Amino acid sequence: MAEINLFLIFLGSIGFDLLIGDPRFLIHPVQVIGFYIKKLSDYLINNIGENKNTLFWAGLIVAISTIGISFGLGKLIELSYVQSRNNFFSGLLIFLGLSSCIATKGLISSVKEIAELIERKEINDQKKRIIKEKVQRIVSRDVSSSSTEHLLRSSVESLTENSVDGIFGPLFWIFIGIIFMKCSIFLPGPLSLGFSYKAISTLDSMIGYKYDYFRYLGFFSAKIEDIFTFVPSRLVLITLPLVSSKVNEYGSMIKKSYLDGKKYDSPNAGISEAIFAYISGIKLGGKSKYKNEIIEKPLINANGDICTGKNIKMICQLILRLQFLWILIFILIFFIISILI
């Protein structure tokens, strides 16, 4: 019975995120996780930054402690809910916690706002500065000198990559947690795995870089994120064409996307970007500025069109459709497992 209630809470949390997003009056778990990572990372860099080998292994401690604390908190709330026989307060914590793990409304709203600003006929210097500030909030590259075309491409690349980290990755691991708890309440559950994945994603976004001290401090964080995003990114690859107008090109879409996506250093980011690029008919990749260095990423869908605001809105629609498809698949799998177990 508890796992059925957890599944219903899970479905409710998805709806809450789509309608409300993250309530501003509540502290978001990512803020707490980010505060811990920053304080610990700053301390390590300031005290042992010159010792690369020590910093390398200290990065493992940062990763394990962050993930461990997040997992432990989630598991504690889950056990409290089950052992108290569906206590309302514990259920509410799980509901809000699961909703905070999913970032559909926040991600889509921020990118659509950028697209709408760029689509306006008159863009003066002040408006362009505002657009650059909004794009900079969602990307790690330097867009201070970017053209409108590059701002749109940057937004699309962030949207398509983060759709896995912020939406489909959490959905996958939360559902796995629900299935685990059907077997035993002491196995990882939806909130413990949801919080853990959010911690992994935050670690990667904060210290999982390949420059300066982070090359050593963030090595394990980046690798762990690669491992836990591997399956969700490939599930996006094989399911996204099913909710598009190019479903009749299913095989070729997947093949082209996989071949282009695997050119990236990341085993996951390129694949998720590629499938969205091919379905929406746009070209991604190329030159981008990181810190003071120009990095040229491999081209994805080299014969595609340049990004436009219309493409961004189309990709947002694809994300919503795919999320709905995943929910239907989750319901079907949960129903089948409930009959078998």
Give the pLDDT of the chain (341 residues) as one tens digit per residue: 667 889 999 999 999 999 998 887 778 889 999 999 999 999 999 999 888 899 999 999 999 999 999 999 999 999 999 888 878 899 999 999 999 999 999 999 999 998 888 877 666 777 788 888 888 888 888 888 888 888 899 999 999 999 999 999 999 999 999 999 988 888 999 999 999 999 999 999 999 887 788 889 999 999 999 999 999 999 999 999 999 999 999 999 999 999 999 998 888 999 999 999 999 999 999 888 777 778 888 899 999 999 998 999 999 999 999 999 999 999 999 999 988 87
Separation CA 140–CA 224 (nearest Å): 20
What is the C-alpha radius of gyration for the chain, rounded to an integer number of angstroms? 20
Which pLDDT score, from 0 to 100, does residue 244 have? 95
Which pLDDT score, from 0 to 100, does residue 54 have? 93
Which pLDDT score, from 0 to 100, does residue 210 have? 76
Answer yes or no: pTM beyond 0.85: yes
Q: Would you say how long the chain is, in residues? A: 341
Domain boundaries, the chain: 2-340
H/E stretch holding 239 reads helix 219-239
Separation CA 288–CA 201 (nearest Å): 22
Which pLDDT score, from 0 to 100, does residue 286 have? 86
Rounding to the nearest 10 degrees, give the CA dihedral for residues 318, 205, 133, 19.
40
Please say whether the beta carbons of 287 and 294 come within 8 A: yes
Please say whether the beta carbons of 269 and 230 come within 8 A: no
Which pLDDT score, from 0 to 100, does residue 121 have? 61
Which pLDDT score, from 0 to 100, does residue 238 have? 97
The pair of three-digit structure tokens given for residue 257, joined into one six-digit string: 């996307």
The pair of three-digit structure tokens given for residue 252, joined into one six-digit string: 């070729």
